Structure 1
Amino acid sequence: MTELNLEQIRNFRLHSHHLDAFYTKEDLIAAAGACGMQNSPPGAWETALYNRIPSCSQEDMNHFLYQERCLLQAWSLRGAPVVFPEEESDVFLSALIPQEDEPWIYTHGISLALDFLQMSFEELLPMLKQVMPRLNGKTIVTKSALDQTLAEWMLPLLPEEKKTLWNHPSMYGSPDKQTVGGAVVSFLLRPCAFDGLVVFGAREGISPTFTSYNAWTGHPLGNQGEGAKKLVRKFLHCYGPATPASFEGWLGCSGKQARRMWKAVSEEMEPVKAVGKNAWILSEDKACLMSPKPLQRELLLLGGHDPYLDQRDRSLLQPDKSLHKQIWKMVANPGTVVYRGEIIGIWTSTKKSRGMEMKITLWNGFQDKEKISVLAEEYADFRQQKLIGIEF
């Protein structure tokens, strides 16, 4: 069995994520479509794309997403907002639709509201889908307004004895802003997104907007039947060597759904030993893994939710597990300093009236603060701010 070492795996993943060299705007679709770019917190996808295509300004990104619309933002992997090529909507949306008794992604938490209403998931999702076409030609500003508007549209479809419960304050943390019905809608919007019923529109100031897939793209969501296979291939190409369990964690889906999708591409895979552990790669990636090319870019300042950091085998990124809690938090991950594929430090930025301040913590390995400072200045410039201070 082929054995792969740490350097081979890191180099391969950097190349697959378009982080090994300086790519151009001509590579936009390939870079954004490698495995999608999470946009939570808002702006995360911009930092990720900047790290792959430094010549792509924020104005360029807004043009691609909001005017040209070759990129699209919708709830996708793990139920998070993700930016991906519009032409690959079948991969990042309809491929996530479960089959038979597989549960939907990101809907486990709905059980509190279902118990309160004494209604089932199978009753409520069709009701929401029945009113979703009213989003055609309509734009709703803010997520809370979307939840409550759709909940109001569903109200006439509910049994009379459920309507008071539907309008009861939410049990999920914002009872002054959200009803139980709004909370139900919030969970059910993920299945609606996978079905091509709702997408993000252009931001209005700091607020997101929402409309239908058809209204935004000019056509309904297509499903060519190969989306699930393409998604597994993307995962293995960006995160291989990997296992079905790591694929399950990356998608945020059930083990049953992950195994079904994985099996559909099994004939294109082969087993390897990855740093002593059994894993799988795409057979067509073997040559690239075995003969890594020299990195044109060795040092990176990645955003806290960059796709490269979404590897399930985190010890390959940072062997010292005691540092993992500093890198991967429940919310608001810091940025990372990455050298030759290894996380060697973290960074945070603060916006001041005069510009941006950065704090950088280094643990080991690369210690050239001058080169890191240059990258920090370039990032501040991308964010259209002046770097007024760096604390190491």
Structure 2
Amino acid sequence: MDLTRQQVLLHRIHQHELDRRTSDATELAVFSLGVQDNTAGAAVLSLAARLKAPSTEDFTHTWSVRGAPHLHRAGELKAFSRALWPWSDADARARAARPKVDDMLAALRHIATAMRSIVTKPMTKGDLSKALTPLAPQQTVEPCRGCGTDHVSDPIFRLGALPAGLRIIPEEKTVTFERIHGWPGVPRITAGFDELIHRYLTLHGPAGPSEVASYFGTTVRELKKRWPKEGLVEVTVDGVAAWLPEDVEIVDAEPPDVRLLPPTDPYLQARDRDLLLPDKAAQKDIFRILGRRGAILVDGEIAGSWQGKVVSGKRYEVTATPYRPLPDLLPETELLAQAKGLDDASVKSN
């Protein structure tokens, strides 16, 4: 099967449920990998693009994929922790961004075990880091220019949170952890990573090992060691080889007129950015290292970027940067305002 770029985009829009709005948040397909969040509460904006009445109340907030903050279904966290646990030292070094550290897997297990033992009551990230550093293997500690002290490397600290069975309390302004009750302990081995590959390819496929490796923060070489030997079918996208789960059918969706996707939206997490957005200048605008922009999805294509802010404590204002003429964005902006509990909305253009 040879698919075109347009066929792939319309299929993904359907898989991400952007071609319709549903009622049940817990059934959303994007929660198969979690919905990335940030301190500004971006996850609820992702839900607003898919739900009639978005809410994050039924989900658990923790650091998971790539150590980034995500919302997950609470009942899936134990299995998710086992599936995300590194399968080798090389995999652990890649995820922790510590390429020269020996026995990184043992160090990560030590860190996660210590984090679990320390957090016996709600504890801020700063207090946990301060208590953890004296207990950590020296190879995981590094000087921090920002706070002027030595502490456990931030990527390692983040990777330790989920296997330690820690959740983030969403009501707290400062990142504050508490224990997830009934936690079985730090995983001993990886179990279920094949299923995560299947889930990635279901949402973001067709794709290949390089995209999946990038998403999970490992190397292509390590990822290929875990690539499923069955359950996938090979296709081509404009002549380039890619893979889909064999139980997933390509759907020719009817794209939505417009959706405002926040910078961390699951749809934008696909690693084949040249397919999502071929224009290099537009890529540079959307996928910034700092100050990333949201994407304006119009008729199945990213037609501009946007930024949002709360004005006077009651109005949500979207500033749009169009790549081509845009439709009226106010109705979608009003939905985002409602999701954030605000009464008013406005739109302006750069």
Q: Name the TM-score, length of structure 2 as normaliser.
A: 0.87
Say yes or no: does 1:276 pair with 2:243.
Answer: no
Question: Displacement, 1:225?
Answer: 6.9
Q: Does structure 1 conserve the Cα–Cα contact (< 8 Å) formed by 2:330 and 2:346? A: no
Question: Displacement, 1:294?
Answer: 2.9
Question: Displacement, 1:222?
Answer: 9.2
Comparing 76-85 and 126-135, the one that deviates more: 126-135
Comparing 325-334 and 375-384, the one that deviates more: 375-384
Per the alignment, in what secondary structure is the counterpart of residue 247 of structure 2?
A: helix
Distance 1:76 1:244, change over 3 A: same
Distance 1:29 1:72, change over 3 A: farther
Say yes or no: does 1:248 pair with 2:230.
Answer: no
Q: Deviations over 1:21-59 (max 9, x none)?
A: 11112x5243342321111344122221222213124xx
Q: Deviations over 1:47-83 (max 9, x none)?
A: 21222213124xxx23x1xxxxxx3222221221221
Distance 1:203 1:339, change over 3 A: same
Distance 1:357 1:106, change over 3 A: same
Say yes or no: does 1:218 pair with 2:182.
Answer: yes
Question: Displacement, 1:274?
Answer: 0.6
Map of 1:175 onto structure 2: 147
Distance 1:135 1:49, change over 3 A: farther
Say yes or no: does 1:193 pair with 2:161.
Answer: yes
Distance 1:219 1:123 in 2: 20
Map of 2:114 onto structure 1: 131
The AA in structure 1 aligned to 2:37 is N
Distance 2:232 2:170 in 1: 41
Which is strand-richer, 1 or 2? 2
The AA in structure 2 aligned to 1:269 is L
Which is helix-richer, 1 or 2? 1
Select the residue among 62, 72, 75 that pairs with 1:84.
72
Distance 1:387 1:13 in 2: 32
Select the residue among 254, 260, 263 that pairs with 1:294.
254
Question: Displacement, 1:130?
Answer: 5.0
Count matched residues. 345
Distance 2:270 2:342 in 1: 31
Distance 2:234 2:80 in 1: 26
Q: Does structure 2 conserve the Cα–Cα contact (< 8 Å) formed by 1:200 and 1:208? A: no
Q: Does structure 1 conserve the Cα–Cα contact (< 8 Å) formed by 2:258 and 2:327? A: no
Distance 2:342 2:156 in 1: 39
Gap regions ≥5 residues in structure 2: none
Comparing 332-341 and 202-211, the one that deviates more: 202-211
Distance 2:67 2:113 in 1: 21
Say yes or no: does 1:17 pair with 2:16.
Answer: yes
Map of 2:321 onto structure 1: 361
Question: Displacement, 1:358?
Answer: 1.9
Q: Deviations over 1:163-183 (max 9, x none)?
A: xxx7xxx6332234xx32x23
Q: How does 1:1-392 map to 2 (within 5 A)?
A: 2-25=1-24, 27-57=25-55, 61-62=56-57, 64=58, 71-104=59-92, 105-109=94-98, 121=104, 124-125=107-108, 127-135=110-118, 137-141=120-124, 143-152=125-134, 154=135, 171-176=143-148, 179-180=149-150, 182-184=151-153, 186-194=154-162, 196-212=163-179, 216-220=180-184, 227-262=192-227, 264=228, 266-285=229-248, 288-289=249-250, 291-295=251-255, 297-353=256-312, 355-364=315-324, 367-369=326-328, 372-387=329-344, 389-392=346-349
The AA in structure 2 aligned to 1:243 is G
Distance 1:173 1:17 in 2: 40
Q: Which is greater in Rg?
A: 1
Distance 1:339 1:378 in 2: 16
Distance 1:122 1:367 in 2: 49
Comparing 245-254 and 203-212, the one that deviates more: 203-212
The CA RMSD over aligned residues, in Å, is: 2.9
Question: Displacement, 1:129?
Answer: 4.5
Question: Displacement, 1:293?
Answer: 3.7
Gap regions ≥5 residues in structure 1: 65-70
Question: Displacement, 1:335?
Answer: 1.3
Map of 1:67 onto structure 2: none
Q: Does structure 1 conserve the Cα–Cα contact (< 8 Å) formed by 2:13 and 2:253? A: no
Q: Does structure 1 conserve the Cα–Cα contact (< 8 Å) formed by 2:22 and 2:50? A: yes
Distance 2:84 2:104 in 1: 18
Distance 1:91 1:349, change over 3 A: same
Distance 1:126 1:237 in 2: 30
Question: Displacement, 1:278?
Answer: 1.5
Map of 1:68 onto structure 2: none
Distance 2:28 2:243 in 1: 23
Q: Name the TM-score, length of structure 1 as normaliser.
A: 0.78
Percent identical: 24
Distance 1:276 1:53 in 2: 35
Distance 1:236 1:91 in 2: 19
Per the alignment, in what secondary structure is the counterpart of residue 171 of structure 1?
A: strand
Q: Does structure 1 conserve the Cα–Cα contact (< 8 Å) formed by 2:201 and 2:244? A: yes
Q: Does structure 2 conserve the Cα–Cα contact (< 8 Å) formed by 1:89 and 1:221? A: no
